Every structure is written in structure tokens, then in C-alpha cells.
Chain A
Amino acid sequence: RKEVEQDPGPFNVPEGATVAFNCTYSNSASQSFFWYRQDCRKEPKLLMSVYSSGNEDGRFTAQLNRASQYISLLIRDSKLSDSATYLCVVMRGTGNQFYFGTGTSLTVIP
């Protein structure tokens, strides 16, 4: 079983739409969780860390459910510039080792 599973999409949504991405992880010892964004032919960039209490940054909301080993990202009022691949990333407590999901591709259409 993969460490991190994501729906690869693609998600094609109109501008202004709300879109949600989901991710599950297999190892209950995982301690840190992130969403990274990767534009075509660019490096991954941190979008936000994910905390158990849930956290919000502008139009982006991340949630973590440790009992279900499930992470989500909600994007409200989608912009054209949100088009990218969104990578779910999980880290265990030791070793600084990232486990990446396969990424979810989002295209926001005018």
C-alpha cells in the first residue's frame, strides 16, 4: 500500500468555483502534513502546513483527520492562477523524510 494516496484528477473547474482535494496516508505514526503546489516545469512550493485543528490561509483551508488518516484542501473562489498540481506530503517523526502523494492536477477555466 502506498504511503500517501491522492486522486490524480484532473480537476477542471470554472473561475470562482470551490474545489476540494483529498488525500489519505497509511502510517499512523505520521506526524507532519503539508500541501505543496507545483507549477508546470517548476519546483514544489509550500502552500500550507496542515494542523489537527484545521487551518485557513485566505481562500485555502486545510483539514486533518488523524482518526481516519485523511487530509483535505479546500480552495474557494478559484482563480486562473490556482491552476497547478497540488501535492499532499506526509512526514513521520524521524528522519526528515517526506512521503509525496502522486499529486492532483487542477485547471481553472475562464
Chain B
Amino acid sequence: DTEVTQTPKHLVMGMTNKKSLKCEQHMGHRAMYWYKQKAKKPPELMFVYSYEKLSINESVPSRFSPECPNSSLLNLHLHALQPEDSALYLCASSQLQKETQYFGPGTRLLVL
């Protein structure tokens, strides 16, 4: 089973709202990732967690706050977003000794 799940599939939020994106995997992967993807562009890395600890933060604005409650779950908390933050947010996971990343279906976010 190489499945990464993400909820919600779609999200519409105002600039003053607080919401969270959720990602889950049960493959025993110890690295998890958040990516942002705009239309017709490749995914851009936001955060990497290794062994539930944040290992890479690609200078992401503080209105995005990641959280890794345990080895299977990864959250992305959203607060005071801007319309330009509208995008597809992809979660991925991988084994640390093997590099292949498996992507979830993404959450399509629209900020009004």
C-alpha cells in the first residue's frame, strides 16, 4: 500500500480564517513533506519533517505553520492567508533510506 491521504480535497477560506490541512500515511515512512503547486508550475517544497522533527523550512511565511503530531500524521495550519496563497497543497512521504517520494492527492485551496 503506497497511499498518502489528504483532507480536505478542496478548501475555500477568507483571509481572516484559520484552517488546517491534514495528511496521513501508514507506510512506516519517517520523512514527510509539504509542497505548494501553482497551475502549470512544478511543486515547490515548503517543509520537510524527518523523524517527526522539522528538518527543512524553505523560508515559508509564518502564516503557514506545520505540525507533525506523530510519525503517520502531518498537518499544515493556515492563518491570515493571502489570495496569492491559493494553490494545490501536496503532502508526500518517503522512507529515509530510500528516496522515492509518494504524493497524496492534494488539497486545492482558494483564498478569497
Taking Cβ atoms with an 8 Å cutoff, the residues of A that contact B are: 32, 34, 41-46, 49, 87, 91, 95-98, 100-103
- Counting residue pairs across A and B whose Cβ atoms lie within 8 Å, the total is 47
Give the interface size class of chain B: 20 to 34
Could you give, for residues 20-41 of chain B, a 1 whenever the CB lies within 8 Å of some chain A CB and a 0 otherwise?
0000000000010100000001
Given contacts A34-B100, A43-B90, contact A96 B42 (CB under 8 A): no
Q: Contact check, B100 vs A96: say whether CB atoms are below 8 A apart.
A: no
B101 within 8 A of A: yes
B73 to chain A, nearest CB (A): 18
A96 touches B48 (CB 8 A): yes
Residue in A closest to B99 when the chains form the complex, CB atoms: A32
Contacts of A41 in B (CB 8 A): 88, 108
The verdict on B56 contacting chain A, using a C-beta distance below 8 Å, is yes
Interface string of B70-112 (1 = CB under 8 A from A): 0000000000000000001010001010011111111010000
B104 in contact with A43 (CB, 8 Å) = yes
Q: List 7 A-B contacts (CB under 8 A).
A: A34-B99, A42-B106, A45-B103, A95-B55, A96-B31, A96-B48, A97-B48
Q: In the complex the two chains form, is A96's CB within 8 Å of B99's CB? A: yes
Which residues of A have CB within 8 Å of B104? 43
How far, in whole Å, are A16 and B99 apart by their CA atoms in the complex?
33
Which of chain B's residues have a CB closer than 8 A to the CB of A100?
Answer: 42-43
Partner of A97, one of B45, B90, B102, B108: B45
> Which B residues touch A44, using CB under 8 A?
43, 90, 103
Chain B residue, CB-CB nearest to A8: B40
Q: Which residue of A lies closest to B102 (CB)?
A: A46
Once A44-B103, A46-B102 are accepted as A-B contacts, the answer to whether A96 and B41 lie under 8 Å apart by CB is no
B7 interfacial by beta-carbon distance below 8 Å: no
B45 touches A98 (CB 8 A): yes
CA distance A43 to B4 in the complex (A): 11
Partner of A87, one of B42, B102, B105: B42
Q: How far is the CB of B66 from chain A (nearest CB, A)?
A: 15
Which of chain A's residues have a CB closer than 8 A to the CB of B108? 41
Residues of A within 8 A of B50 (CB): 96
